[in-house]
Structure 1
Amino acid sequence: MFKWLKGKTQAKLELLEVKAPLTGKVVPLDQVPDPAFAQKAMGEGIAIEPTEGKVVAPFDGKVAHLIEKSKHAVILEHASGAQVLIHIGVNTVSLKGEGFKAHVSTGDEVKAGQLLIEFDMDAIQAAGYPVITPVLIPDGVDAIKSVEPLENAGSVTATSEAVLRVHLN
């Protein structure tokens, strides 16, 4: 009955396309007004100038870490071991959670397109913080061979276009 399965092995994922976790305009990381992001000290990626205050999961995975107090950043982990950091705004940790509403917790399983965090763009900007949002692949993950930022993606709608290609080992 399972002759077709004999000799077949599950194909190893070699490329992970990370979809846009926000709606907005894609810009290179060097346009983020924070040296840690702009100089790629934390990893390779892109940034998105959001036009909507919602962050959604760019792939099926697990919430590896949600910054509980401030709710301004989340790390998702794909089954391959690859992780993505989505950091809403610059220096927004200073807001101590004001203007942010998390819909997930660390350890939650998520599906692509699932709402992770909502944020009040007007309140963040009124407090003097930029809402530009780095989306990056943190350094130091063995599963990753290379990261290809798709900086020329232009305007994107959440989960409709890839913004990063992650080549896996």
Structure 2
Amino acid sequence: MFSKWKSKKQQTLEITSPLTGTAVPLDQVPDEAFAGGHMGKGLAIEPADGKLIAPFDGVVAHVIKSKHAVIVEHENGLQFLFHIGINTVGLKGSGFTSHVNTGDKVKAGQTLIEFDMEAIRAAGLPTVTPIIITNSEDKVEQMETKLGAVTAGQTEILSVTLKS
């Protein structure tokens, strides 16, 4: 009699770091669009090396023309923006090598972008890398961030509970 009222079990997703470095709160990013949460919920990583990997299996939704950012979509529809550095669009791709294209399927651990941290710093730009769930308002019920030292592909940085 009550079978059609079955409750949906909420799905929780654990996301590992796409970079090795130090995870910091988003409000510490020196750009109000990110720090103020206007782009979505997330955190940032101060990278220790210049290699961004896919933290999960997914599809590349978009590679920014200047190769400083990429959006990867998880199978559950969450879209993650990985934005290397702040104001790095002005470098016009110099110092960035994208290993993926829009539409590519990627596996966890696969290299997405390699970047020259010294070239970014030489341009006077921060290397801190925001990691944003761009559709968090529609899809995320709750999110916990894990801060501190992180290793790419190993350290969990986000625990995301999806809206049912």
* TM-score, scaled relative to structure 1: 0.87
Distance 2:71 2:29 in 1: 19
Alignment of 1:123-142 (within 5 A): 123-139=119-135, 142=138
The residue that corresponds to 1:157 in the other structure is: 151
Alpha carbons 1:13, 1:80 under 8 Å: kept = no
Q: Deviations over 1:98-130 (max 9, x none)?
A: 000000000000000100000000001001110
TM-fit CA distance, 1:18:
1.3
Q: Which residue of 1 aligns with 2:5?
A: none
TM alignment of 1:24-63, pairs within 5 A: 24-63=21-60
Equivalent pair of 2:17/2:154 in contact (CA under 8 Å): yes
- Read off the aligned partner of 1:159 and give its amino acid letter: G
Unaligned runs of 5+ residues in structure 2 are 1-7
Separation of aligned partners in 2, 1:30 and 1:140: 16
Tell me the secondary structure at the aligned position of residue 130 of structure 1: coil
Does structure 1 residue 167 correspond to structure 2 residue 164?
A: no
| In structure 1, C-alpha distance between the alignment counterparts of 2:89 and 2:116, rounded to whole Å | 14
Q: CA deviation at 1:144?
A: 2.7
Q: Is the 8 A contact 1:146 1:167 kept in 2?
A: yes
Q: Distance between the aligned counterparts of 2:126 and 2:97, measured in 1? A: 18
What residue identity is the alignment partner of 1:107?
G
TM-score, structure 2 as length reference: 0.90
Which one of 14, 19, 22 corresponds to residue 19 of structure 2?
22
SS state at 1:33 partner: coil
Percent sequence identity over aligned pairs: 60
In structure 2, the residue matched to 1:7 is none
SS in 2 for 1:125: helix
**Cα distance in structure 2, aligned partners of 1:48 and 1:144:** 21
Letter matched to residue 159 of structure 2: R
Query: Partners of 1:18 and 1:89 in 2: how far apart?
Result: 20
Write the letter of the residue equivalent to 2:48: T
SS where residue 94 of structure 1 aligns?
Answer: helix
2:69 paired residue among 66, 73, 89? 73
Counterpart selection for 2:115 from 106, 119, 123? 119
Shift of 1:23: 0.4
| 1:143 positional shift | 3.5
Query: Which segments of structure 1 move beyond 6 Å, counting only runs of 4 or more?
Result: none
